[in-house]
């Protein structure tokens, strides 16, 4: 019963290692270093790295910028609430507001083009969960997160809020078109 008793040898730290343990430690360490290298290496060679470009913002400031984009690039409106569908030019800054319990506006992007997508929340934490592509980003109020996105598929995508934001959380879902 020795794990629950003091070690029988006073100088337990001088006790030699068993080869099973030694080998496993070396293998594990190598694997740990491979995983670490993989994460760092993906920043150099990989194509999916979340940008960390962030600014402090306020609901007023962000709404103004979003409204300017909507005024300029709206192509049509959708649903009974007449949510504008916005098709900004490739390479431009696009804005998406998350608030209780909707996203605004609806974006229409082009496949293979890169956009600077600005995300913020007007109130609580929200989630940007792009389906079925399955890209998930946290949206934090007060912070404007600029993510460079390059859609690689055309189609209709959905943006699901996947951070709990109150009683109507389950109705907070929007669309995103890629042409």
Partner 1 sequence: MTPTTYRTCPRSGLQFESQAEKLMIVNAVTAVVALLVGGILAIGVVLTRWPTIHWLAADTFYMVLTAHGIDMLIFWIIFFEIAVLYFCASTLLRCRIATPKLAWVAYALMLIGAVMNNVAVFQGNSSVMMTSYVPMMAEPAFYLGLILFAVGALIACFIFFGTLVIAKRDKTYQGSVPLVTFGAVVAAIIAVFTITSGAIILIPTFLMSLGVIQSVDPLIYRTIWWAFGHSSQQINVAAHISIWYAVAAIAFGAKPMSERVSRSAFLLYILFLQLASAHHLLADPGVSTAWKVVNTSYFMYFAVLASMIHGLTIPGAIEVAQRAKGFNNGLFEWLRKAPWGNPVFSGMFISLIGFGFLGGISGVMMGTEQLNMIIHNTIYVPGHFHATVVVGTTLSFMALTYFLIPVLFRREMINPGLAKLQPYLFGLSMYFFCLVMMGAGTLGVSRRHWDMAFNGSAMAYEWPGAAYLLMGLVGVAGIAAIVGGALYIYITVGSILWGRKLDTGAVSAKFTPIPPTAPTLVAQSYGSAGFAAPGTFVLAMVFLVSFVLYYFINWKYLSQVWGLS
Applying the rule CB under 8 A, the residues between 9 and 38 that interact with partner 1 are: 9-10, 12-13, 15-25, 27-29, 31-33, 35-36, 38
Contact 69, 94 (CB under 8 A): yes
Least CB distance from residue 122 to partner 1, whole Å?
Answer: 11
Stretch that binds partner 1, among 3-11, 59-67, 69-77, 84-92 (CB under 8 A): 3-11
Q: Give dist(CA 39, CA 109) in Å, integer.
A: 29
CA 26 – CA 17 distance, rounded (Å): 12
* CA–CA gap between residue 96 and residue 92 (Å, rounded): 13
**Segment 147 to 176, residues that bind partner 1, using CB under 8 A:** 147-153, 158, 160-175
Q: x/- string (CB under 8 A) for partner 1, residues 71-110?
A: -------xxxx-----------------------------
**66 and 57 in contact (C-beta within 8 Å)?**
no
What are phi and psi for residue 39, nearest 5 degrees? -70, -40
Q: Which is nearer to partner 1, 28 or 72 (CB)?
A: 28
Binding mask 33-62 for partner 1 (x = CB under 8 A): x-xx-xxx-xx--xxxxxxx-x--------
CB of 74 to partner 1, least distance (A): 17
Pairing of strands 126-131, 155-160: antiparallel
- Name the residue with tokens 């909507």: 70
Q: In the bound complex, what is the minimum distance in angstroms from residue 19's beta carbon to partner 1?
A: 5
């Amino acid at each position: 019963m020795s794990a629950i008793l003091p070690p029988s040898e006073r100088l337990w730290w001088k006790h030699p290692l068993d080869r099973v343990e030694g080998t496993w430690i070396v293998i594990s360490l190598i694997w740990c270093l491979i995983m670490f290298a993989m994460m760092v290496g993906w920043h150099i060679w990989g194509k999916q790295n979340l940008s960390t470009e962030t600014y402090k913002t306020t609901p007023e400031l962000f709404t103004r910028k979003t409204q300017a984009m909507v005024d300029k690039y709206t192509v049509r409106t959708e649903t009974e609430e007449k949510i504008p569908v916005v098709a900004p030019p490739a390479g431009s800054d696009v804005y998406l507001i998350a608030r209780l319990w909707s996203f605004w506006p609806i974006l229409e992007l082009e496949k293979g083009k890169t956009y600077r997508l600005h995300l913020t929340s007007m109130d609580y934490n929200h989630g940007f969960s792009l389906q079925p592509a399955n890209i998930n980003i946290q949206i934090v109020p007060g912070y404007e997160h600029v993510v460079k996105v390059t859609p690689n598929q055309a189609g209709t995508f959905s943006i699901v809020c996947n951070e709990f934001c109150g009683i109507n959380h389950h109705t907070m879902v929007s669309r995103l078109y890629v042409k």
